[in-house]
Amino acid sequence: MAACSARALSFFALLLVGCSGAGNADLFNGDPGAPASAEDDVSATEPTSSTKKQQPTAPGTLPGETPAPAPSDPGAGTPADPAPAPAPVPSCTQAAEPNNDLGHAVAFTTSLCGKIDTASDADFGAFVVPAGKTELSIQHAEQDGSVIYLYYFQGIPLLLGGDGMKVLPGATYGVQIKRSPVSPSAQRPTYKLDISFK
């Protein structure tokens, strides 16, 4: 009995040794004519990965496909709303004839521009003091000669009129612009009068 066991064990060992070769893979595959497979060949090596880096693909994209554009974000990449344009500078009201007396004074808000056309010419303007304001701030500029400015309240000349003059809110004031006596009579000066209120 021991001899039979030893023989059976030897036969089994031989069978194992004989079947471990690549040429005997057909014993396990069940196909006597099948070629040896790579998994039975211990000398076969796993394929190595390519050294070339693959580009990451977007989720849901197959390799080699161009990814679809991302959904647009309404807030991304759009420029901010432009800043509002500054308020336009008030234009200068042009004095127009006839304006040679207070009855024909040219109404203006903050600026009056004009030209003294003759040696005896005088331009008149009129403005209303805004509510809550009690003082005038005055700036003026002339070209091609000099002029003088005289201020009126209810038709009466103000002897101390000018920059810093105290005024009544809501009242209408007048101003006369004429050529200065020191300016040569041949000159025809232009002027720009700017007033603001405090």
What confidence category does residue 48 fall into, taking pLDDT thresholds of 50, 70 and 90?
Answer: low
pLDDT at position 5, please? Answer: 47
Instruction: Pick the most confident of 39-43, 83-87, 98-102.
Output: 98-102
Segments forming the whole domain that contains residue 111: 93-197
HSE toward the beta carbon, residue 2, CA cutoff 13 A: 0
Determine contact, residues 151/162, Cβ cutoff 8 Å.
Answer: yes
- State the CB neighbour count (10 A cutoff) for residue 39: 8
Q: Residue 151 belongs to a domain with what CATH number?
A: 2.60.120.380
pLDDT at position 188, please? Answer: 93
pLDDT at position 60, please? Answer: 56
What confidence category does residue 1 fall into, taking pLDDT thresholds of 50, 70 and 90?
Answer: very low
DSSP 166: B
In a domain, 21, yes or no: no
Task: Assess whether pLDDT exceeds 50 at residue 189.
Answer: yes
Task: Assess whether pLDDT exceeds 60 at residue 145.
Answer: yes
In a domain, 60, yes or no: no
In a domain, 53, yes or no: no
Task: Assess whether pLDDT exceeds 80 at residue 17.
Answer: no
Integer Cα distance of 28 and 15 in angstroms: 12
In a domain, 28, yes or no: no
Q: What is the mean pLDDT of residues 128-141?
A: 96
In a domain, 143, yes or no: yes
In a domain, 23, yes or no: no
Residue-wise DSSP of 8-28: HHHHHHHHHHHHSSGGGTHHH
Q: How many domains does the chain have?
A: 1
In a domain, 155, yes or no: yes
Mean pLDDT of the chain: 75
In a domain, 65, yes or no: no
Q: Which of 90, 118, 112 is nearest to 176 (CA)?
A: 112
The pTM is what? 0.55
- State the CB neighbour count (10 A cutoff) for residue 124: 23
Determine contact, residues 145/182, Cβ cutoff 8 Å.
Answer: no
DSSP 162: S
Q: Where are the beta strands (DSSP E) in the chain?
A: 93-94, 106-107, 111-115, 122-128, 136-143, 147-153, 156-158, 172-179, 190-197
